[in-house]
C-alpha cells in the first residue's frame, strides 16, 4: 500500500445487476447484503443506481433502495449514483432525500445524473424526452433551492428545507461544467477513457465556484476494479459484464449477467467480439500488486480524493473477495462507531 492510496477514500456503487438463474428481487436483496458486507470492510459510502425497463438491472427506484440499505447498515454513508434528475420533478426528489436524511441523519448522499430513459418506450412512459437532459443545470438549481428555502414559487419542501444532504454530480463533458458552476463535488468516469476523464477534471477544477455545498473541488473517479489471486482470475470477473454490454450494443437489450464459463467468444459475431474484447480492456484489474500500481497511476493523473468502485459480475463470492482484497490493499479499517463527517459532506480532512 502506498501513501497516496492510503489517503484516498474507497466507496462502492452497486447497480443491482441481475444474474442468470436469479430474479430481480434476489438482485435487490443481494445489493442490501453487499452493503452490509462492504461496510464491515471499511468502505466509505455505498450507492445505488436508477435504471428503468432494463432486463439486466433491478434497481429502478434508488431512493427506495437507499432507504433499505440505510436501514440494514449502521455507519456507512448511503446514497444514489444516481437519481436521474431529468426523470423527476426536483420538488419530489428534495422531499425524498429530506425523508432519508430525517430517518438516517448524517449518512445520506444525493448523487444526481442527467440520463433519461434507456429506450423510447421508457421515455414515453416517464413522460420525458432526450431534450429534458438539456435542463439538467436548471433542475439542479431548483432542487438545491428546495433545501435552501429559496424556491421562487413560495412553496416549501418538507422535510427537506433546512437539511444538509451533500449533492454530487455524476458527469462527463457538459456535466463537469455544471458541477463546477454550481460548486458541487464531481463523480466522473469511466477509467477506460482516462484522457477524456482528465480533461473533464481539469475543466472542473479550473472553473469551480465555491458554494454552500463545497468550498473547494472534490473529485470522485468511478470505474471497475477487480482484484484476485492471478491476472486471469481478475479478468474472469470482467467477462460477464463485457458480454452483457456487447449484447446491449448489438441487440438492443441489456441481459442478465451469465457465468463467465458460459461466455464463448467463438460464438459471437465479429461486431460482438470486438465490443466484448473492448469491454474487457481499460479497467483496473489484476493481483493486489498490479492493482495497487494502476491505482497509484490513475490517482496521480487525476488528483482524485475518492474512488467509487462499480464492479459487476455473476460470481458473487468472487466479487466480495475482490472487494475484500481491495480493502486490504487500501488499508481500510472496518466500520467506524459513528458516521464520518469528513470530505464534502462535512468539510473535514480526516479519513476513516
- What rounded mean pLDDT belongs to the chain? 90
- Taking Cα atoms as reference points, which of 212, 213, 272, 277 lies closest to residue 239? 277
In this prediction, residue 345 carries a pLDDT of 63
What does the block give as the cell for 170?
455524476
In this prediction, residue 55 carries a pLDDT of 80
Cβ-Cβ contacts under 8 Å for 12 (sequence gap 6 or more): 34, 35, 38, 43, 45, 46, 47, 308, 309, 310, 323
pLDDT at 349 over 60: no
Please say whether the beta carbons of 276 and 244 come within 8 A: no
Cβ-Cβ contacts under 8 Å for 312 (sequence gap 6 or more): 14, 15, 17, 224, 240, 241, 257, 319
What does the block give as the cell for 167?
449533492
Please say whether the beta carbons of 217 and 188 come within 8 A: no
In this prediction, residue 153 carries a pLDDT of 85
**CA angle centred on 176, ends 175 and 179, rounded to 5°:** 90
User: What proportions of the chain, in percent to the nearest 5, are helix, strand and coil?
Assistant: 50, 15, 40
73 secondary structure, DSSP code: -
In this prediction, residue 190 carries a pLDDT of 73
pLDDT tens by residue, 9-55: 999 999 999 999 999 999 999 999 999 999 999 999 999 998 877 78
In the three-class reduction of DSSP (H, G, I as helix; E, B as strand; rest coil), residue 218 is classed as: coil
pLDDT at 159 over 90: yes
Rounded CA-CA distance 252/263 in Å is 18
- Taking Cα atoms as reference points, which of 166, 186, 164 lies closest to residue 176? 186
Mean pLDDT calculated for residue range 146-172: 92
In the three-class reduction of DSSP (H, G, I as helix; E, B as strand; rest coil), residue 208 is classed as: coil
Mean pLDDT calculated for residue range 51-64: 87
In this prediction, residue 339 carries a pLDDT of 46
Mean pLDDT calculated for residue range 99-110: 98
Say what percent of the chain tops pLDDT 90: 74
157-171, 183-197, 281-295: range with lowest mean pLDDT: 183-197
119 secondary structure, DSSP code: S
Mean pLDDT calculated for residue range 82-88: 90
From residue 63, alpha-carbon distances to 67, 284, 286, 303 in Å are 6, 29, 34, 30
Mean pLDDT calculated for residue range 83-107: 95
Q: Which CATH superfamily is domain 7-223+304-327 in?
A: Luciferase-like domain (3.20.20.30)
Residue predicted with more confidence, 298 or 51: 298
Mean pLDDT calculated for residue range 130-156: 86
Which H, E and C letters describe 129-171, residue by residue? CHHHHHHHHHHHHHHHHHHHCCCCCCCCCCCCCCCCCCEEEEC
pLDDT at 214 over 70: yes
pLDDT at 347 over 60: no
pLDDT at 343 over 90: no
In this prediction, residue 130 carries a pLDDT of 63
What does the block give as the cell for 46?
455505498
Q: Highest mean pLDDT range out of 88-97, 114-123, 125-134?
A: 88-97
| Domain spans of the chain, in order of start | 7-223+304-327, 224-303
Query: Residue 336: which pLDDT band, with cuts at 50, 70 and 90?
Result: low
Q: In the chain, how long is the greatest CA-to-CA distance?
A: 62
Amino acid at each position: 500500500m502506498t501513501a497516496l492510496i492510503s489517503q484516498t477514500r474507497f466507496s462502492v456503487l452497486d447497480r443491482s445487476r441481475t444474474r442468470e438463474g436469479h430474479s430481480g428481487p434476489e438482485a435487490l436483496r443481494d445489493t442490501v447484503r453487499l452493503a452490509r458486507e462492504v461496510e464491515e470492510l471499511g468502505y466509505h459510502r455505498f450507492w445505488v443506481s436508477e435504471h428503468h425497463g432494463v432486463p439486466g438491472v433491478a434497481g429502478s427506484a434508488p431512493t427506495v433502495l437507499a432507504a433499505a440499505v440505510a436501514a440494514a447498515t449502521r455507519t456507512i454513508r448511503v446514497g444514489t449514483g444516481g437519481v436521474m434528475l431529468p426523470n423527476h420533478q426536483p420538488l419530489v426528489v428534495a422531499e425524498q432525500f429530506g425523508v432519508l436524511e430525517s430517518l438516517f441523519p448524517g449518512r445520506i448522499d444525493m448523487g444526481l445524473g442527467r440520463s433519461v430513459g434507456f429506450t423510447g418506450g421508457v421515455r414515453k412512459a416517464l413522460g420525458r424526452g432526450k431534450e429534458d437532459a438539456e435542463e439538467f443545470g436548471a433542475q439542479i438549481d431548483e432542487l438545491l433551492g428546495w433545501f435552501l428555502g429559496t424556491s421562487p414559487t413560495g412553496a416549501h419542501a418538507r422535510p427537506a428545507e433546512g437539511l444538509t444532504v451533500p449533492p454530487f454530480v455524476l458527469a462527463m463533458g457538459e456535466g463537469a461544467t455544471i458541477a463546477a458552476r454550481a460548486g458541487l463535488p464531481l463523480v466522473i468516469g469511466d477509467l477506460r477513457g482516462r484522457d477524456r476523464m482528465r480533461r473533464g477534471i481539469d475543466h472542473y477544477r479550473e472553473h469551480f465556484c465555491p458554494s454552500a455545498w463545497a468550498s473547494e473541488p472534490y473529485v470522485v473517479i468511478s470505474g471497475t476494479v477487480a482484484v484476485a489471486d492471478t491476472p486471469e482470475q481478475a479478468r474472469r470477473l470482467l467477462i460477464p459484464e463485457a458480454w452483457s454490454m456487447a449484447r446491449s450494443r448489438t441487440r438492443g437489450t441489456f441481459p442478465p449477467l451469465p457465468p463467465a464459463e458460459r461466455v464463448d467468444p467463438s460464438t459471437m459475431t465479429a461486431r460482438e467480439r470486438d465490443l466484448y474484447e473492448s469491454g474487457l480492456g481499460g479497467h483496473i484489474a489484476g493481483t493486489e500488486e498490479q492493482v495497487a500500481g494502476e491505482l497509484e497511476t490513475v490517482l496521480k493523473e487525476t488528483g482524485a480524493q475518492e474512488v467509487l468502485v462499480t464492479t459487476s459480475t455473476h460470481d458473487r463470492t468472487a466479487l466480495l473477495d475482490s472487494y475484500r482484497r481491495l480493502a486490504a490493499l487500501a488499508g481500510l479499517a472496518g466500520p467506524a462507531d459513528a458516521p464520518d463527517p469528513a470530505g464534502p459532506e462535512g468539510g473535514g480532512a480526516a479519513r476513516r
